[in-house]
Structure 1
Amino acid sequence: MHSGTSDEQVKTITLEAFADTIVPGEKRTPDDRAIAGVSTGGGAVQSGALEMLHHPATGITAGLESLVGMLNGHATAYAADKGITLDDTVPPFVALEFDDRAALIRILTTPGHPEKSGWVLLALFCNMAFDSAAHISTHDAIAQGHPGLLTIGFELPEKDGLWRFKDYSYGRQFAKPHPDTTATGSPA
């Protein structure tokens, strides 16, 4: 790989490419190698997948370097098997085209693959960054225009910052409140 690339840069760009394969987004710049650009708008990377993966609550932060090394090793083997010549100026997984990245992740997450649980966990956290912004407060995510919450149509809070759902999330009331429910919604 390019001599000017540090281990931290390899880790970052590889994890970004993995996250972008899970929830694709738009390239940040025309020469963006991590994000394949197969989708419009923000994907997992723009939604904070790297912040999520580095959050201590995930329990995977200590193993990220190992996962990056394994992923790049699998990408090298995949490329050799498919007769793909990899660009050695970027990490092997990043050098793969999007369809090949996705195919490799399918292989790694297939039932029976000995490393499946680790790759599924990594994918889960990338998805969580997009669809729930679990790594930051919901108020901050909304204020920052979080791409995932915007995409799924997450309801905005009222002017006082509180969420109220006057029109029931399913468009109809499923059950009547218990007769002893207080005005604040608490059971009596």
Structure 2
Amino acid sequence: MTIEAYADTIVPGAKRSADDRVVAGAADGAGAVEAGAVELLEQPGGGLADALDALAFSLNEHAQAYAEECGLTLAADLPPFVALPFADRTALVLRLTTPGHPEHQMWVGLALFSNMAYDSAAHMHTADALRGGHPGLRDLGYFGPRDDGLWGFPRYSYGRPLAPLHPATTATGSPA
């Protein structure tokens, strides 16, 4: 819950249900949680999978200290970071990710993975992500395959050819 709430603070999304207390609902549409941030973080290649429990514990300690400092009363049935209102989650994340904070690199790394899940679907093969309607790729305007099954843009990405074709280029695009 805590790691999902952190990811939701980085790339906010809509609540998954009316009683969702992890995703704050600070934005319309999908955010990092729906895009698979925890799934990405749990993959061993990223280097954070074994540290997620410790990160959640530390983040909750920071959240409890923050709440005490600000005079906030947190719901006892939730982890402290999850219990923080969204504005306070954001303020705490800003504090933790500010250069000079002793744990800065750790929290920035966690934020980067949350972004990667949304804006690149790094935990999935791109073709599978697009076929499955990955929310981040969809929202960012990634194109799926054309009607002919090939991947490409319907027109040049800059709206014009970047250079004239060489006169010896064949119809298949190969140089003669």
Q: TM-score, normalised by structure 2?
A: 0.92
The answer for the alignment partner of 1:10 in structure 2 is none
Q: Which runs of 5+ in 2 are unaligned?
A: none
2:162 to 164, 168, 174: 174
2:131 to 121, 137, 143: 143
2:28 to 21, 36, 40: 40
Aligned CA RMSD, in angstroms, stands at 1.8
The answer for the alignment partner of 2:58 in structure 1 is 70
Whole-angstrom distance in 2 between the partners of 1:78 and 1:180: 68
Cα–Cα, structure 1 residues 135 and 187, in superposed 2: closer, same or farther, change >3 Å? farther
Q: CA deviation at 1:176?
A: 3.6
Length, aligned pairs only: 176
Q: CA deviation at 1:162?
A: 2.3
Cα–Cα, structure 1 residues 181 and 51, in superposed 2: closer, same or farther, change >3 Å? farther
- 2:45 maps to a residue whose letter is A
How does 1:24-103 map onto structure 2 within 5 Å?
24-103=12-91
1:18 paired to 2:27? no
Whole-angstrom distance in 1 between the partners of 2:63 and 2:91: 10
Cα–Cα, structure 1 residues 174 and 77, in superposed 2: closer, same or farther, change >3 Å? same
Whole-angstrom distance in 1 between the partners of 2:129 and 2:117: 10
Cα–Cα, structure 1 residues 91 and 169, in superposed 2: closer, same or farther, change >3 Å? same
Cα–Cα, structure 1 residues 121 and 186, in superposed 2: closer, same or farther, change >3 Å? farther
The answer for the alignment partner of 2:110 in structure 1 is 122
The answer for the alignment partner of 2:146 in structure 1 is 158
Deviations 1:80-115 (A, max 9, x none): 000001111000000000000000000000010111
Whole-angstrom distance in 2 between the partners of 1:32 and 1:50: 16
Q: TM-score, normalised by structure 1?
A: 0.86
Cα–Cα, structure 1 residues 160 and 59, in superposed 2: closer, same or farther, change >3 Å? farther
Q: CA deviation at 1:119?
A: 0.6
Whole-angstrom distance in 2 between the partners of 1:56 and 1:187: 43
1:108 paired to 2:96? yes
Deviations 1:34-91 (A, max 9, x none): 0000111111101111111111111111111111111000000000000001111000
Q: CA deviation at 1:165?
A: 2.5
Whole-angstrom distance in 1 between the partners of 2:43 and 2:115: 14
1:133 paired to 2:133? no
Identity of aligned residues (%): 59
